[in-house]
Amino acid sequence: MRIYLDSDADLGLLQGRRIAVIGYGNQGRAQALNLRDSGLDVVVGNRDDIYAKHARADGFHVSPINVATAQAQVVLLLIPDEVTPVVFEARIATQLLPQSLLVFASGYSVAFEQLTLPSQVDVGLLAPRMIGAGVRDLYVTGEGFPAFVGVAQDISGQTLPLVLALAKGIGATRRGVVPVTFAQEAELDLFTEQCFGPAFGAVLTTSINLLLNAGYPPEAVLLELYMSGEFAYTLRKIAELGLVEQAALHSRTSQYGSMSRGLRFQIPELRERLRAGLEEIRNGTFAREWAAEQAEGAPTLAMLRAQAQEMPLYQLEQELREALGSIAAASPSTQSQSSSELSRRGPWSMLRAGIARCLQRLRRPRHPRSTPPTPRDRPPSEAPTPSEAPTPSLTSPLSDGQLRRTLQTFLENASCDPMLQAFAAGRHVTTYYRFTDVDLAFSLGFHDGHVVGSLGNETEAQVQLTLASITLDSMLTGTLSPVRAALSGEIVFDGDPRLAMTVQRIQKDLVRLYSQARRQVLQGSDNA
Ligand code: NAI
């Protein structure tokens, strides 16, 4: 194990070298201030925006990115990864002094070959494992923070010592610096964001939904699971003491319960999903997908963000946070609109009202159940007599046979629908739908102007959805957003998320065609 500390780094190597910090955002500001406070010569390169104003206000000399680059022996690239390739090609690559050192804070652009490195410069990596605000705060307190370092090109033979000197300058060697390759840094970072984080998030939201449906008070559920900060505190103790040692901080009941029940959560499918996610990162699939998404203006990201904010859980969280914060901080001097309402109605009554609203949304049935239950809902002993047999409403849940006939008609009509054919032009995407409660599956594909739908076994599909028939019915009658269903776990999703999102563009047409087919089938049953 190799970890570099203060004693392994020599700040003197940077004396006489000007450092240009390119970008003055989260990392840029923190690193520039720390390096200057470590006695180094720092200038800032930034476009003319609010960040440039902040840098000037902090007393830095600020020039355009190309100018600052051309004047420095060390260039720290601290702009967002998604703009790095374009800015690098246009304003940095040709301005770098020969023998200078170019330093990235993330391995992404180099690891996934988003840019071409000039051959005459050293290229290093200094990637703090800390957000920008922490980089600054922990430098000021003297504690420091960990970081990864790496070398992609070493023309001078001095790249690693110089990067370690920078790591010391920003305060990272106080805690410890770990050497990695650019690819390792980028892949680990993406794995945490795309696999570990979402898997953990899914455990959290599944638990919240389960406990709410079991009738526990929502404010107690959120506080218990994470909003009290107890869980975050435990994670901090795990970081300090280790997984096993921190167990001693918990009661014996807790130790026995979590260790004995923990065995049940060693789920092979989870491991398989994490492995598939890692593979997609390592073989560059994700980087290509993200580059294509950005080239189109990131429509999928916008859609996902909007849907996440529509989730009842998100709204419940907001209400609870606001109410808890307001209860702690409520004072006559803070008279925002909500706080004046607070003083009128009292914080707890507002909290309860907000929670009741959110719960209603969380538990709202998709199909109004005012219509009598269908044979599928009713136990055989309660089968209706012919005289009391209900007239099926057009919003009634479908029997298995009705669902099959609806899908058949829907797929037939879809294959000759002009709107869907127009969408299919120049595309290749098939979605395969498999039901969890009915022995039925179907696929719908868009291929070069042709729409191909069929009931039956799995075809080659880029997107696979596993869901209950009521979920599909709700989605295709327009009462449930597919993205929201996927985010809340009602759909088990597999395949290419971006392709899946493109199908969202014709969601209205799918709803139109399915609803038509559904009405046709129900009216047919009615007349029969
Ligand atoms: P940021 O979003 O805070 O960057 C803002 C800066 O980028 C501003 O100075 C702005 O003028 C400049 N900028 C934005 N778009 C630009 C464009 N099109 N052309 C020219 N300049 C532009 O970036 P952040 O979060 O500080 O990330 C910088 C680097 O640090 C990235 O490589 C990131 O992966 C890495 N990093 C970030 C961490 C964080 O805490 N945010 C943690 C560890 C590494």
Q: What is the pLDDT along the chain (528 residues), one digit of tens a residue?
A: 899 999 999 999 999 999 999 999 999 999 999 999 999 999 999 999 999 999 999 999 999 999 999 999 999 999 999 999 999 999 999 999 999 999 999 999 999 999 999 999 999 999 999 999 999 999 999 999 999 999 999 999 999 999 999 999 999 999 999 999 999 999 999 999 999 999 999 899 889 889 988 999 888 888 899 888 888 888 989 888 988 888 888 899 999 998 899 888 889 999 999 999 999 999 999 999 999 999 989 988 998 888 888 777 777 777 777 777 654 444 333 334 444 444 444 555 555 565 565 555 555 444 443 333 333 333 333 334 444 444 446 677 899 999 999 999 999 999 999 999 999 999 999 999 999 999 999 999 999 999 999 998 767 899 999 999 999 999 999 988 888 788 777 888 888 888 888 888 899 999 999 999 999 999 887 665
Cβ of 30 below 6 Å from ligand 1 = no
| Ligand 1 site, residue 339, Cβ cutoff 6 A | no
* Beta pairing, strands 147-153 & 177-179: parallel
Ligand 1 in reach of 423 Cβ (< 6 A): no
Answer yes or no: is the C-beta of 105 below 6 A from any ligand 1 atom.
yes
Is ligand 1 within 6 A of the CB of residue 463?
Answer: no
Indicate if ligand 1 lies below 6 Å from the C-beta of 51.
yes
Q: Record the tokens describing residue 451, joined without a space.
A: 């729409």
Q: Whose CA is nearest to atom 20 of ligand 1?
A: 47
Among candidates 14, 11, 18, which has minimal Cα distance to 61? 18
Mutate which of 31, 75, 78 for ligand 1 pocket (most atoms within 8 A of beta carbon) = 78
Number of Cβ atoms within 10 Å of the Cβ of 482: 24
For ligand 1, the distance from its centroid to the CA atom of residue 456, given in whole angstroms, is 49
Check if 195 has its Cβ closer than 6 Å to any atom of ligand 1.
no
Q: How far apart are CA 152 and CA 106, in angstroms?
A: 12
Q: Are 69 and 95 in contact (CB under 8 A)?
A: yes
Distance between Cα 22 and ligand 1 center (Å): 9
Q: Which of 22, 27, 76, 149 to mutate to test the pocket of ligand 1 (most atoms within 8 A of CB)?
A: 27
Residue holding tokens 């990695």? 180
Atom 42 (ligand 1) nearest CA: 131
CA of 483 to the centre of ligand 1 (A): 29
- Using DSSP's 3-state secondary structure scheme, residue 128 falls into strand
Sheet harboring 491-495: ordered strands across? 450-455, 441-447, 428-435, 463-467, 491-495
For ligand 1, atom 7, name the residue with the nearest CA. 79
Yes or no: say if 321 and 227 are a contact pair by the CB < 8 Å rule: yes
Q: Is 354 in the pocket of ligand 1 (CB under 6 A)?
A: no
* Beta strand residue intervals within 171-275, DSSP E: 177-179
131 lines ligand 1 (CB under 6 A): yes
Q: Which of 485, 360, 375, 55 is nearest to 65 (CA)?
A: 55
Q: Quote the tokens at residue 402.
A: 């009705």
Q: What is the dihedral of CA 33, 37, 38, 43, to 10 degrees?
A: 50
Residues facing residue 511 across a β-bridge: none
Which residue's alpha carbon is at the smallest distance from atom 40 of ligand 1?
A: 131
Residue 26 near ligand 1, beta carbon < 6 Å: yes
Q: Is 83 in the pocket of ligand 1 (CB under 6 A)?
A: yes
Ligand 1, residue 129: give the atom nearest the CA: 43
What are the angstrom distances between the C-alpha of 492 and each of 37, 195, 364, 472? Answer: 51, 15, 21, 12
Q: Which residues contact 362 (CB under 8 A, 6 or more apart)?
A: 209, 212, 312, 313, 316
CA of 30 relative to ligand 1 center, distance in Å: 11
Q: Is the CB of 134 under 6 A from ligand 1?
A: no
- CATH for 395-527 is 3.30.1050.10
Alpha-carbon span 490 to 113, nearest angstrom: 37
| Sheet containing strand 177-179, strands side by side | 62-63, 42-45, 19-22, 74-77, 101-104, 122-128, 147-153, 177-179
Backbone angles phi, psi at 422, to 5 degrees: -65, -40
Q: What is the DSSP letter of 94?
A: T
User: In the numeric block, which tokens belong to residue 57?
Assistant: 């206000």
Q: What Rg do the C-alpha atoms of the chain give, in angstroms?
A: 29
Is there a common fold for 6-180 and 395-527? no
> Which sequence spans correspond to the domains of the chain?
6-180, 188-311, 314-393, 395-527
Please indicate whether residue 49, judged by its CB atom, sits closer than 6 Å to ligand 1. yes
* Confidence at residue 492, expressed as pLDDT on a 0 to 100 scale: 87
Does the beta carbon of 169 lie inside 6 Å of ligand 1?
A: no
Whether the full predicted model's pTM is greater than 0.85, yes or no, is: no
Pairing relation of β-strands 62-63 and 74-77? unpaired
254 vs 387: CA distance, rounded Å: 59
Rounded CA separation 471/521 (Å): 19
Q: Which fold has domain 6-180?
A: Rossmann fold (3.40.50)
- Cα 392 from Cα 374, distance rounded (Å): 8
Environment class of residue 300 by beta-carbon count within 10 Å: exposed (0-12), middle (13-18) or buried (19+)? buried
Measured distance CA(275)–CA(404) in Å, rounded: 36
The rounded Å distance from CA 78 to ligand 1 centre is 5
The torsion angles phi and psi of 40, rounded to 5 degrees, stand at -100, 160
Contact 286, 189 (CB under 8 A): no
Q: How far is the CA of 23 from the centre of ligand 1 (A)?
A: 6
Tokens 């290749």 found at: 428
146 lines ligand 1 (CB under 6 A): no
3-class DSSP assignment, residue 268: helix
> At CA 428, angle to CA 424 and CA 433, rounded to 5?
90
